Amino acid sequence: MGKQQPISQRKLLGVAGLGWLFDAMDVGILSFIIAALHVEWNLSPEEMKWIGSVNSIGMAVGAFLFGLLADRIGRKKVFIITLLCFSIGSGISAFVTSLSAFLILRFVIGMGLGGELPVASTLVSEAVVPEKRGRVIVLLESFWAVGWLVAALISYFVIPNFGWQAALLLTALTAFYALYLRTSLPDSPKYESLSAKKKSVWENVKSVWARQYIRPTVMLSIVWFCVVFSYYGMFLWLPSVMLLKGFSMIQSFEYVLLMTLAQLPGYFSAAWLIEKAGRKWILVIYLIGTAGSAYFFGTADSLGLLLTAGMLLSFFNLGAWGVLYAYTPEQYPTAIRATGSGTTAAFGRIGGIFGPLLVGTLAARHISFSVIFSIFCIAILLAVVCILIMGKETKQTELE
């Protein structure tokens, strides 16, 4: 069998980005569905917190397992498997009538999503020239913001009129279209050149934690944990936080849509800066912006302050995500790149389990949101300290 023809950078970004967009639609709609299920199924904050956390448990498992698999059978095959996994799971979940069945399917969906993102960033980073690699990865991640916007629009127009089930079906059907496009995608040229040098899964895991790579692995694991812990704790709860602050469900959806709009300029500014100032310092600056915004969102006592802090939170936090996805694969050689990216992302997903649980537990005990969001602020600052002490600059370096 001959080698596949190389794909253009624009088409690669579009095909990979569509999958990213539909993944974001699923996660974005989930935050609105949690708020809708709170009303329809009369869920308590204790029950609501498990929806987001089970999703993150699946993402942690998926990031680790599919990362390992991508270094064994190829990026493209795993790219297809992960999207299939969550497309089917999302479609079936529209028909469940109990919380337990919904949670099981959220685990399956989470596995697909958790495996999709590190494998996608690995594939794209290996197919793009060094001087454009960071910018393209951040632009890939910007499809996430578009997905959130679509999710917010679907949630605003579809959920109140047709129910949350219709929103989930829309997500599943559009994801199948991305799956069709993905079958024409070639595998990573760097991965294909490794065919005779592949190691066992266990050897790859050991290599990620070997002396040569333990510093970036520890640094990235802590950073991913803090970033995902804060993101899922804050953003999955945004519509519900607005409800608990006394706004109606329709008002909450409107305000979260306004906050979501700020994600796109966050990505685009990070994409412009990443090849100029480098990964390390842009990541630090955007995380400090995230920490400050989280603090002011938690302490906001007026609608104007709430919206301003929420928009700044979206701007800085999602810009930081884009840079982190570019930064992570650059720390490892091709033979263990997906394993390293998946392993550190899996640590992040563990943080995503505890973030929503923390908010649900503290909200149930009537702890103020200023205290809750201050905890997220501290977590983000911990990530900043780790990057400053242990991080290295990888701007425009040639991948091994």
Task: Round to whole Å and give the CA distance between 180 and 42.
Answer: 38
64 near 343, Cβ under 8 Å? Answer: yes
Task: Round to whole Å and give the CA distance between 331 and 333.
Answer: 7
pLDDT surpassing 50 at residue 2: no
Percent of the chain whose predicted confidence (pLDDT) is above 90:
29
Q: Residue 7 — pLDDT band, cuts 50, 70, 90?
A: low
At 31 the pLDDT is: 75
Q: How far apart are the first and last CA of the chain?
A: 26
Q: Which tokens belong to 236?
A: 């999955």
At 374 the pLDDT is: 92
Query: What are the domain boundaries of the chain?
Result: 9-186+204-390
At 3 the pLDDT is: 47
Mean pLDDT of 271-276: 90
Q: Which of 17-26, 136-145, 203-212 has the lowest mean pLDDT?
A: 17-26
The residue behind tokens 């990505």 is 267
**Residue-wise pLDDT tens digits, 328-384:** 999 999 889 999 999 999 998 888 888 878 887 887 888 888 898 899 999 999 999
> Torsions phi, psi of 183, nearest 5?
-65, -20
Coil, strand or helix at 393: coil
More confident residue, 75 or 320: 320
Instruction: Sort 365 into a burial class: Cβ within 10 Å, 0-12 / 13-18 / 19+.
Output: exposed
Q: Which tokens belong to 26?
A: 């699923």
At 66 the pLDDT is: 93
At 249 the pLDDT is: 67
Distance, C-alpha 62 to centroid of its chain:
13
Q: How many CA atoms, within 13 angstroms, populate the side-chain half-sphere of residue 320?
A: 28
**Residue-wise pLDDT tens digits, 81-124:** 988 888 888 889 989 988 999 999 999 998 998 888 888 888 88
Mean pLDDT of 45-61: 82
For the chain, the average pLDDT equals 85
At 194 the pLDDT is: 67
Coil, strand or helix at 103: helix
**Residue-wise pLDDT tens digits, 246-262:** 777 667 777 777 887 88
Q: Which tokens belong to 75?
A: 């990026």
Task: Round to whole Å and give the CA distance between 93 and 161.
Answer: 19
68 near 339, Cβ under 8 Å? Answer: yes
At 1 the pLDDT is: 39
The domain 9-186+204-390 is placed in CATH, from the list 1.10.357.10, 3.60.20.10, 1.20.1250.20, 1.10.3210.10, at 1.20.1250.20
**Residue-wise pLDDT tens digits, 279-318:** 899 999 999 999 999 999 888 877 888 889 889 999 999 9
Q: Which of 17-26, 68-77, 113-122, 317-326 has the lowest mean pLDDT?
A: 17-26
